[in-house]
Amino acid sequence: MNISFLGEVPEWSNGTVSKTVVHFVYRGFESHPLRHFEFMPASTLSVCREAFRRNRFPALVLQSAAGVILLLYFLVPATRPAFEEIGALKNRHGYLFSALSTMMFGGLVSWSVLLYRGRIPKGQVWAQFVFFLVFWAVQGLMVDTLYRLQGHWFGQDNDPVTLFKKVLLDQGPYNILYATPVSMCFYAWKDAGFSVSRAWEGLRGDFAHRYWTIMVSAWIIWIPAVTMIYSLPADLQIPLFNLVVCFFTLVLAFVSRVETPQVSDE
């Protein structure tokens, strides 16, 4: 899943996340000279280059971190009890675990980092707090549902064919048709001061460019990440997803430049 929108949108890039995913970070709604809608950007190649440039370091760090967790699980028997305890917790609480853990690792961490770095307008601190918690709780439920359905459809084996099917569905239809556009719209609404009209005005100017930059960014980061997530047993997939999202948020906080929030306090 793509989680490209993990914050106000420093420049990366954020997610989601997250799956929905930070995502290049999407920088709010500036005034754009282009005011007509076009489905494809002028140069797909330039979008790919931009996405790769912005995301190569976060992708390398995140994929390395996920790889370490995978190696610990499969190659270090001493770590198995800890993994099994986390898996048992997930099994006991099901969707509640997914909602609360993703709300904490994706939402609370994102909000805290943005607040600490001064990227939330003072008048919107608590409104954005609620936004992040609710948005990421819902994302946790959606991702858990996706993982469960794929386990039902394709099984829980981690052979190459099964992994390919799951990654293809995750980063194909799910990401392209749901995760990325939904995340874009909700984060646009947040960045526009929770104004639907301002959000629409900001999106319509260069929707295609933003969409494809975020999609390419998501694929660079999340295709390797979800491959590793689907390699684990079903009860450990959400926990690893949450760790990747959390670590992604922290990495972006350090690699993105500091910017003044675009929305006024009014």
d(CA 17, CA 58): 13
Average pLDDT over residues 114-140: 92
Task: Give the residue carrying structure tokens 């948020």.
Answer: 249
Q: Answer whether residue 28 is part of any domain.
A: no
Q: Answer whether residue 111 is part of any domain.
A: yes
Assign 245 a pLDDT band (cuts: 50, 70, 90): confident
Buried b / exposed e along 14-48 (16+ C-beta atoms within 10 A): bbbbbbbbbbbbbbbbeeeeeeeeeeebeeeeebb
Q: Answer whether residue 16 is part of any domain.
A: no
Assign 175 a pLDDT band (cuts: 50, 70, 90): very high
Tell me which range, 49-63, 106-120, 124-138, is most confidently predicted by mean pLDDT.
124-138
Cβ neighbours of 92 (radius 10 Å): 10
Q: Answer whether residue 24 is part of any domain.
A: no
Average pLDDT over residues 220-243: 92
Average pLDDT over residues 83-92: 94
Q: Which one, of 264, 15, 255, lies nearest residue 136 by Cα?
A: 15
Average pLDDT over residues 92-98: 96
What is the number of domains present in the chain? 1
Please give the model's pTM, rounded to 2 decimal places.
0.77
d(CA 264, CA 114): 16
Residue 171 to residues 32, 41, 116, 146, Cα–Cα distance (Å) = 29, 20, 32, 11
What pLDDT, on the 0 to 100 scale, is given for residue 258?
Answer: 40
Q: Answer whether residue 200 is part of any domain.
A: yes
Compute and round to an integer the Cα radius of gyration of the chain.
18
Q: Which domain holds residue 113?
A: 44-255
Q: Answer whether residue 1 is part of any domain.
A: no
Average pLDDT over residues 151-166: 95
Q: Answer whether residue 4 is part of any domain.
A: no
Percent of the chain with pLDDT strictly greater than 70: 74
Average pLDDT over residues 150-158: 94
Residue 260 has pLDDT above 80, yes or no: no
Helix, strand, or coil (residue 142) = helix
Q: Answer whether residue 88 is part of any domain.
A: yes
d(CA 207, CA 211): 6
